């Protein structure tokens, strides 16, 4: 086990509020010790997700005071707690948003652990990866191959997984037309999967840099955030946390089309017009977290399809800058924090 006086650097949410007001503080903390069934992970990299911004700014209510954000964690196990036998020291693992479930509620029993009534989430209920070390229930960690670079592995662990689940919930048929609203870290990974599987992808986003990336990745149409695509969509995914985009996205759907909202937080949705937005069996649905099976499937599929994350690196000590850049749409693709000395 580690020495009780060993410390580490970690960012904590000291007072949730607008990112420009300094709600995050870089602190010295005790290096955590793993409990029963847990492993400690020395963090090499951690992706920066919009959910981290929602936790930091208070859009999501405080679950753990002074929580350490971050749930796209890549690192290596260095200590195994009592009864932890799945991994060994030195094993490379990923830590994602879903941190634990009860296993006994009606949702867990039917295989929908993402809807667990007592789920815990990394970087919200338990401390996450904006730190030099973290602990995780070994049952909820993912084994990562050594040939997947840190900057590619980290975004897959949430942006990739939740986008993959959102894509599957649309029921998009082979060769169908998919609309993507917002084109950040999750969307640019999901688009690559859909295109590789034969979909025609249309991207609506306000960012000129994101529009350029969408074209580069193979989108058949790119337009403004609320611009109607040239043909009706079979399915759509809303990644931007903007409720007012629900209306143009629904209006763009063909009969029987499905709009999946991928974010954990969304601003208020304006009033719908039934005939225009929902009639003819259009469907509006949300996506809540992910199952471990979603993660395992995505981590197998993404490398096989050649999915590549476009990333912007930041050192750990600039995590607050990374979140501010995300808040102000200054990042194209996904931001990834790298620990000092990490070379991957």
CA-to-CA distance for 188 and 210, rounded, in angstroms?
Answer: 9
CA-to-CA distance for 95 and 75, rounded, in angstroms?
Answer: 8
Closest CA relative to residue 161, chosen from 146, 142, 176: 142
Same fold, 7-144+310-338 and 161-286: no
Query: In the CATH scheme, what architecture does the domain 7-144+310-338 have?
Result: Alpha-Beta Complex (3.90)
> CA angle, corner 335, sides to 145 and 132, nearest 5?
65
Residue at token pair 């060769």:
175
> CA angle, corner 50, sides to 316 and 93, nearest 5?
55
* Both tokens assigned to 225: 């955030």
Q: What are phi and psi of 23, to 5 degrees?
A: -70, -15
Closest CA relative to residue 204, chosen from 272, 122, 128, 259: 259
161-169 vs 185-196: helix crossing angle, rounded to 10: 50
Look up residue 204 and give its DSSP letter: E
292-305 vs 185-196: helix crossing angle, rounded to 10: 60
CA-to-CA distance for 203 and 193, rounded, in angstroms?
Answer: 14
What is the structure's pLDDT at 341?
A: 53
Q: What does the chain come to in residues?
A: 344
Q: What is the DSSP string of 144-189?
A: --TTS-HHHHHHIIIIIHHHHHHHHHTTPPTT-EEEEE--SHHHHH
Is the Cβ–Cβ distance between 180 and 236 less than 8 Å? yes
Is the Cβ–Cβ distance between 137 and 38 less than 8 Å? yes
Buried b (16+ CB within 10 A) or exposed e, 101-122: beeebebbeeeebbbbeebbbb
> CA angle, corner 187, sides to 94 and 237, nearest 5?
120
What is the structure's pLDDT at 343?
A: 40
Instruction: Compute, in degrees rounded to 10, the torsion defined by CA atoms 293, 192, 277, 245.
Output: 100
CATH number of the domain located at residue range(s) 161-286 in this protein:
3.40.50.720
Kindly report, residue by residue over 34-81, the tens digit of the pLDDT: 999 999 999 999 999 999 999 999 999 999 999 999 999 999 999 999
25 CB-near residues (< 8 Å, 6+ apart): 11, 12, 14
Q: How many other CB atoms are found less than 10 A from the CB of residue 28? A: 8
Q: How many other CB atoms are found less than 10 A from the CB of residue 280? A: 11
Residue 161 burial by CB count (10 A; 0-12/13-18/19+): exposed, middle or buried? buried
Q: What is the DSSP string of 100-139?
A: E--S-SHHHHTT-GGG-TT-EEBTTTB--SSBSEEEEEGG
Q: Please identify every stretch of the chain with a pLDDT value under 50, giving residue numbers as ranges.
A: 1-2, 342-344
- SS3 percent helix, strand, coil of the chain, rounded to 5, is 30, 30, 40
List the domain boundaries for the chain. 7-144+310-338, 161-286
What is the structure's pLDDT at 3?
A: 52
What is the structure's pLDDT at 1?
A: 47
């Amino acid at each position: 086990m580690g020495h009780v006086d060993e410390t580490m650097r970690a960012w904590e949410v000291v007072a949730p509020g607008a990112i420009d007001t300094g709600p995050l503080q870089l602190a010295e903390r005790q290096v955590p010790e793993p409990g029963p069934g847990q492993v400690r992970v020395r963090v090499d990299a951690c992706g920066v997700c919009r959910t981290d911004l929602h936790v930091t700014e208070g859009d999501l209510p405080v679950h753990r005071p002074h929580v350490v954000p971050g749930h796209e964690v890549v690192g290596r196990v260095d200590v195994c707690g009592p009864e932890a036998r799945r991994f060994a020291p030195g094993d490379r693992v990923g830590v994602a948003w879903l941190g634990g479930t009860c296993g006994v509620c009606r949702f867990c029993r039917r295989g929908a652990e993402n809807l667990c009534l007592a789920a815990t989430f990394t970087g919200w209920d338990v401390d996450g990866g904006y730190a030099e070390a973290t602990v995780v229930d070994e049952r909820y960690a993912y084994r990562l191959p050594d040939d997947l670079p840190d900057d590619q592995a980290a975004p897959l662990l949430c942006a990739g997984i939740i986008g993959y689940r959102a894509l599957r919930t649309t029921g998009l048929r082979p060769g169908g037309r998919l609309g993507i609203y917002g084109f950040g870290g999750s969307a640019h990974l999901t688009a690559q999967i859909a295109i590789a599987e034969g979909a025609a992808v249309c991207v609506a986003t306000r960012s000129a840099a994101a529009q350029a990336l969408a074209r580069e990745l193979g989108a058949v149409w790119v337009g403004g955030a609320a611009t109607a695509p040239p043909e009706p969509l079979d399915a759509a995914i809303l990644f931007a946390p903007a409720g007012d985009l629900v209306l143009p996205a629904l209006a763009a759907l063909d009969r029987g089309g499905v709009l999946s909202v991928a974010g954990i937080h969304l601003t208020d949705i304006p009033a719908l017009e039934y005939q225009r937005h929902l009639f003819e069996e259009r469907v509006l649905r949300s996506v809540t977290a992910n199952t471990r099976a979603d993660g395992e499937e995505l981590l197998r599929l993404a490398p096989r399809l050649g999915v590549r994350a476009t990333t912007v690196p930041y050192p750990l000590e600039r995590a607050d800058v990374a979140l501010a850049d995300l808040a102000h749409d200054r990042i194209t693709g996904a931001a990834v924090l790298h620990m000092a000395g990490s070379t991957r």
